[in-house]
């Protein structure tokens, strides 16, 4: 098991440059950095080559996260939007591959965060989402990339809220590089049991996010980490565990994640780093790896 952190922990915008964080997370002892793929198409080939080299030099593996915008929604009832989504993913995956990234996770099958002022068509969105992911799976596979479909809580997305729904979706897609992704923050809201949910995903679990119930770093709250660790061991999970703490207010990240109070306790960057380092030690101890 490898351990990583989403660089957005330190940032306010998904568009923030992620290159400088490769060395930082290596110094903190992580194996992996997760970067936001939302704006990767704005990076030049030279930028991407430099980041790839920096990852090699620092012994860091990259993974990618994405919350597709409404205009790039693979499950939209509007076929023009679905086509734009497909084109966006093909370009994004092509650039993601330039960083040797093998895992991209998030609400790939939909858009994020969902606008609930509009009526919701769960059945239709799910069916179009299965088709949309099926339609990009081989493209991703040819680049060696797994598509990890994140199960989110009801307030952020309606298509997949439980591990069981995630497994059924991935089975319907039926492509070996399309996997289920779970996140302890969302599981805490939706699942009856953390252990059962992880065991339900079993061999289909392709990526795993961690965070407390208020998205502080793992170890600061009341998620049953021992139960989570036992279940990950039980299913012989050998993938990546990426902590995804969101503790800062402000910017698009603060607004998308609904961070309306300072959860850093006034931390400066050195204290933020120390919290991440301590949480990594906690995560390795309790989850393994
Ligand atoms: O858990 C999440 C949202 O609550 C997601 O992993 C990411 O934050 C989202 O896909 C944006 O990258
Ligand atoms: Mn997540």
Residue nearest to atom 9 of ligand 1 (CA): 67
Query: Is the ipTM here above 0.90?
Result: yes
DSSP secondary structure code for residue 9 in this structure: G
66 lines ligand 1 (CB under 6 A): yes
The per-residue DSSP string of 26-38 comes to: HHHT-SEEEEE-T
The predicted pLDDT at position 24 comes to: 98
Burial class (CB in 10 A: 0-12, 13-18, 19+), 27: exposed
**Residue 92: what pLDDT?**
98
**pLDDT reported for residue 289:** 85
Question: In the annotation, is 227 catalytic?
Answer: no
Ligand with smallest separation from the Cα of 106: 1
* Minimum-distance ligand 1 atom for the alpha carbon of 185: 1
Q: Give the Cα separation of 288 and 229 in Å (integer).
A: 7
Residue whose token pair is 């964080």 = 21
The domain spans of the chain are 2-287
Ligand 1: nearest atom to the Cα of 211: 1
Choosing from 165, 191, 212, 244, which is the catalytic residue? 244
3-state SS string for 242-280: EECCCCCCCHHHHHHCCCCCCCCCCCCHHHHHHHHHHHH
Q: What is the mean pLDDT of each run of 10 residues along the chain (289 residues)?
A: 98 96 98 97 98 98 97 98 98 98 98 96 98 98 98 98 99 99 98 99 99 98 98 98 98 98 97 98 96
Tokens of 4: 């990583």
Concerning whether 269 is annotated as a catalytic residue, the answer is no
Please give the CATH topology (third level) of the domain spanning 2-287.
TIM Barrel (3.20.20)
């Amino acid at each position: 098991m490898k351990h990583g952190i989403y660089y957005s922990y330190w940032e306010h915008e998904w568009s923030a440059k992620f290159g400088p964080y490769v060395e930082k997370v290596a110094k903190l002892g992580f194996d992996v950095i997760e970067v936001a793929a939302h704006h990767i198409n704005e990076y030049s080939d030279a930028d991407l080559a430099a980041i790839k080299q920096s990852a090699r030099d620092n012994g860091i593996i990259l993974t990618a996260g994405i919350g597709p915008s409404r205009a790039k929604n693979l499950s939209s009832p509007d076929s023009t939007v679905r086509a734009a989504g497909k084109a966006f993913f093909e370009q994004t995956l092509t650039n993601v591959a330039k960083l040797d990234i093998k895992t991209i996770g998030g609400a790939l099958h939909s858009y994020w965060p969902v606008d609930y002022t509009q009526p919701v068509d769960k059945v239709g969105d799910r069916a179009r989402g299965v088709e949309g992911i099926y339609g990009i799976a081989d493209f991703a596979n040819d680049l060696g990339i797994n598509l990890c479909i994140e199960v989110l809580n009801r307030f952020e997305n309606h298509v997949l809220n439980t591990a069981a729904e995630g497994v059924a979706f991935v089975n319907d897609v039926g492509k070996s590089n399309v996997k289920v992704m779970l996140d302890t923050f969302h599981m805490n809201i939706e699942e009856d049991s953390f252990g059962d949910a992880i065991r339900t995903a079993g061999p289909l679990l392709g990526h795993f996010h961690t965070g407390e119930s208020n998205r502080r770093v793992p170890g600061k709250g009341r998620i049953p980490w021992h139960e989570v660790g036992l279940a990950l061991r039980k299913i012989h999970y050998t993938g990546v565990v990426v902590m995804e703490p969101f503790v800062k207010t402000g910017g698009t990240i603060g607004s998308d994640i609904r961070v309306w109070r300072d959860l850093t306790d006034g931390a400066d960057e050195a204290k933020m780093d120390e919290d991440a380092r301590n949480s990594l030690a906690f995560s390795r101890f309790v989850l393994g790896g």
